[in-house]
Structure 1
């Protein structure tokens, strides 16, 4: 289900990392000087990008593939809009994440401070401020995994960056159950003007309770 599959981001929130053991916390990872230097470069490069637009491919644990478009504006604003026939979209307007169904005209919210991806939405990105529990490295990619202890359990997000450009290429969210949801970005443009209306929610939409 589309709605259920995206909740990994909303609820609580390349190199492959071990699957998360349910409810298992992990200590922060000690970093080498080289790893710390790379993360500092990633922080600086991405902090300089104020807007991003592009397309995404979402793949869940069952292999279901769904595509859509995304819009990001720092600080704190992001929109994921799924391709038809879906009417769902996920939007953050700086004070929380909302799951919106444009057909049913409903919306429900989650606090932004409980979503691991929030570190990438700050005006000044500082991945060191998150709980870094794993780092992966290959010839072309460098990954940083952040972990949050949320009301629903332990949630992880693995951010994968291009080693040369320092651009974000992919992230994988892991639910407390161990289920994963991966987003790959492509056709990305940066520092483009985004219509203000995209980061908004129709005030006539009914608030509903988030699904379990």
Structure 2
């Protein structure tokens, strides 16, 4: 289950109850001036954040909960490390995303330009350049749903931002099968120093073929 989850996260990448899925149905329409202004503010705020460190809670369609820590450094670097007893992690070193099993000492890779949410790893974030298919808003949160073609099929990612802080709080990945994964971020610190060794691949690990599911 964790290996399939890691595959889905690698395919999707880059969480408190927020906007429900029914609130963000993909009905193409022109964005309002207020929505454009809010997305612009989200772009500018998140572009100013160069590093993020925190914890995540992942919940799948069956309700399985998995926790871990993440480290993000723009441009192009991110590490998702699942808590024990898992030995697996996802790391991007700017060229691609690697799913690593530290116990088995194996890894498999995906090109970064084939991964949704890659826009959120850029030095300058511009969600207007992504394929926005829906937006939704509640009293405290604003959701932007992006759609992208991946090697596995069409994937949707609903990014949820806190309206006041403009920080990313949650995203929900909808896989080509219709299954969903929701990632909640918490205990997040911003603009902290991250050791460069966190974004590295062990050359001694064996490269293996990515699983089909």
Q: CA deviation at 1:115?
A: 1.3
Distance in 1, Cα, partners of 2:86 & 2:162: 30
Alignment CA distance shift 1:12-1:184 (3 Å): closer
Query: What is the aligned partner in structure 2 of residue 181 from structure 1?
Result: 181
Q: CA deviation at 1:133?
A: 0.2
Contact conserved, 1:8 with 1:174, CA < 8 A, in 2?
Answer: no
Is structure 2 residue 104 aligned with structure 1 residue 104?
A: yes
Contact conserved, 2:23 with 2:136, CA < 8 A, in 1?
Answer: no
Question: What RMSD over aligned residues (CA atoms) do the two structures have, in Å?
Answer: 1.8
Query: What is the aligned partner in structure 2 of residue 91 from structure 1?
Result: 91
Distance in 1, Cα, partners of 2:152 & 2:30: 27
Superposition pairs of residues 128-139 of structure 1, within 5 angstroms: 128-139=128-139
Alignment CA distance shift 1:19-1:3 (3 Å): farther
Query: What is the aligned partner in structure 1 of residue 20 from structure 2?
Result: 16
Distance in 2, Cα, partners of 1:75 & 1:141: 26
Distance in 1, Cα, partners of 2:70 & 2:83: 11
Gap runs ≥5 in structure 1: 21-25
Residues 36-74 of structure 1: CA distance to partner in whole angstroms, max 9, x if unpaired? 000000000000000000000011111000000000000
TM-score, structure 2 as length reference: 0.93
Is structure 2 residue 26 aligned with structure 1 residue 40?
A: no
Distance in 2, Cα, partners of 1:154 & 1:123: 25
Partner secondary structure for residue 30 of structure 2: coil
Query: What is the aligned partner in structure 2 of residue 82 from structure 1?
Result: 82
Partner secondary structure for residue 117 of structure 2: helix
Distance in 2, Cα, partners of 1:55 & 1:2: 17
Alignment CA distance shift 1:164-1:37 (3 Å): same
Alignment CA distance shift 1:19-1:156 (3 Å): farther
Gap runs ≥5 in structure 2: none
Query: What is the aligned partner in structure 2 of residue 30 from structure 1?
Result: 30
Q: CA deviation at 1:152?
A: 2.0
Aligned residues: 208
TM-score, structure 1 as length reference: 0.94
Is structure 2 residue 203 aligned with structure 1 residue 203?
A: yes
Partner secondary structure for residue 41 of structure 1: helix
Partner secondary structure for residue 79 of structure 2: strand
Alignment CA distance shift 1:174-1:92 (3 Å): same
Is structure 2 residue 171 aligned with structure 1 residue 167?
A: no
Residues 139-196 of structure 1: CA distance to partner in whole angstroms, max 9, x if unpaired? 0100101000223211011110001000000011110011011110000000000000
Is structure 2 residue 69 aligned with structure 1 residue 65?
A: no
Q: CA deviation at 1:27?
A: 7.7
